[in-house]
Amino acid sequence: MAYVMANARCTVRRAAAALLASCMTLTLAGCGQNPLAVSDVIGPRIVIGVTFDQPAMGLRKGSGYHGFNVAVAEYVAEKLGYASWQIVWEQAPEDERRSMLDDGDVDMITGMYEDAADITAGEKDSATLGYDFAGPYLADRQDVMVLSRSDDSSDTSIVSLADLAGHKVCVIEGSETDADLQRRLDGGIRLVRQPGATQCATALLTGMVDAVAAPGSVLAGLADAEGGDRMRLLGLDFAEGGYGIGLRKGSDQLTARIREAIEQMHADGSWDRAYDETLGAIGYDDGRGTDVH
C-alpha cells in the first residue's frame, strides 16, 4: 500500500512538473493568458531592443528604462502575456538593429523609425526592409538642432535645410536621417556620424559640429536634458516618418498581435498617458498622433 501511494505521489509530481514546463515554454505570466505562438517567441522572458541614450524616448537610468518607446514596449509585452520583470532590455544601436533581429539576439526592437514613403496604411513591406514592421505607433518628422545663443546676436547662419551645405552635421550612424539628408542635399553636406544621440549632442555642445539632425522627438529630448536653453530645434521638418516595432522577417502571427496591442493602447487611453508622461512632459507636441503622410 505504501508503495502504491508513493508511486502515485511521484506520478502527480511528474505531471505537475510537465505542466509547469509547458507553461514556461510559452510564458511565465500564466497558461491562460493567450500565450505566444512557439514559432514567434519561446521562453519565460522576452528580449526587447531599445536605445539607451535618448531622453524622453529610450533612456537607461541606473537599472531602469524610461521613455515613450519603452512605455510602448512594456504595454505590448504585457498584452503578450509578460510581466515587467520578464523583460530583458538590450541596447540596439541604429546600425546593428537588422542584424540583431536576423541573428535572434532580440525578440523585437522598439523605436524603429522609417520614412513615410515606406509606410503604407500602417503596413510595412518586409521584403523591402528585411524585417517585419508593426506600426506606426508614433508619427514624427526629421528636424535639425543648433546651439542657442545667450545674447541677442542669435546665430542665424543655419535657418534652412540648404544652409547645412558646407557645415558639419552630426547624424546617428545607420539612421534614416543619414539617408534623408544625403538624398535632399545630394551629397553637399559634411556628415559626422556617431553611434548614438548623446554623442551627437556632445559634438554640438563642444563645437565639433554645427548642427545635429534626427527625428524631432529625439532632438527635443536631448535639448530638454541640457536644460532646454543650450540647444534649439529649427522646425525644418524636412522628412516625415513614423516609429514602429521591428521583428524578425516572417513573424506574421506575432506582428499581427502587436498591431492589435498598439490599437488597444490607443483605445484604452494608455497611449495618451504614456505620451503625456514623456514627450508631452517636455513640451513636444509634434508627434502627438500616428498618422504618417
Angle separating helix axes 197-205 and 216-225, nearest 10 degrees:
60
How large is the average pLDDT for residues 16-31?
A: 38
The two domains 46-140+241-282 and 141-240 share their CATH topology (first three levels equal)? yes
Domain ranges of the chain: 46-140+241-282, 141-240
Across the chain, mean pLDDT equals 83
Q: Give the number of C-alpha atoms closer than 13 A to the C-alpha of residue 166, restricted to the C-beta side.
A: 5
- Give 174's pLDDT tier (boundaries 50, 70, 90): very high
Task: Flag whether pLDDT at 258 surpasses 70.
Answer: yes
CATH label, 46-140+241-282, candidates 3.30.60.50, 3.40.50.300, 3.40.190.10, 2.30.29.30? 3.40.190.10
Task: Flag whether pLDDT at 50 surpasses 90.
Answer: yes
More reliable by pLDDT, 35 or 52 = 52
Local structure of residue 94 (DSSP, 8 states): G
d(CA 286, CA 8): 65
Handedness of CA 15, 17, 20, 26 (dihedral sign): negative
Local structure of residue 84 (DSSP, 8 states): G
Q: Cα dist. 159→147, 150, 228 in Å?
A: 12, 17, 19
Q: Which three cell numbers stand for residue 14?
A: 511528474
Query: Poorest-confidence range of 33-42, 189-198, 223-232?
Result: 33-42
Residue 100 in contact with residue 109, Cβ under 8 Å? yes
Cα 81 from chain centre: 20
Alpha helical stretches, state H, the chain: 2-26, 68-79, 97-102, 126-129, 176-185, 197-205, 216-225, 252-267, 270-277
Q: Cα dist. 7→106, 125, 145, 195 in Å?
A: 43, 57, 72, 61
Please give the pLDDT value at position 156: 60
Please give the pLDDT value at position 228: 82
d(CA 34, CA 188): 53
Amino acid at 277: E
If DSSP codes are grouped into helix, strand and coil, which group holds residue 249? coil
Please give the pLDDT value at position 124: 55
Task: Flag whether pLDDT at 26 surpasses 50.
Answer: no
Beta strand 108-115 with 239-248 is antiparallel
How large is the average pLDDT for residues 206-235?
A: 95
Whether the link from the prior residue into 136 is cis, omega within 30° of 0, is yes
141-240 falls under which CATH superfamily?
A: Periplasmic binding protein-like II (3.40.190.10)
- Give 65's pLDDT tier (boundaries 50, 70, 90): very high
Nearest to 36 by CA among 257, 244, 247, 250: 257
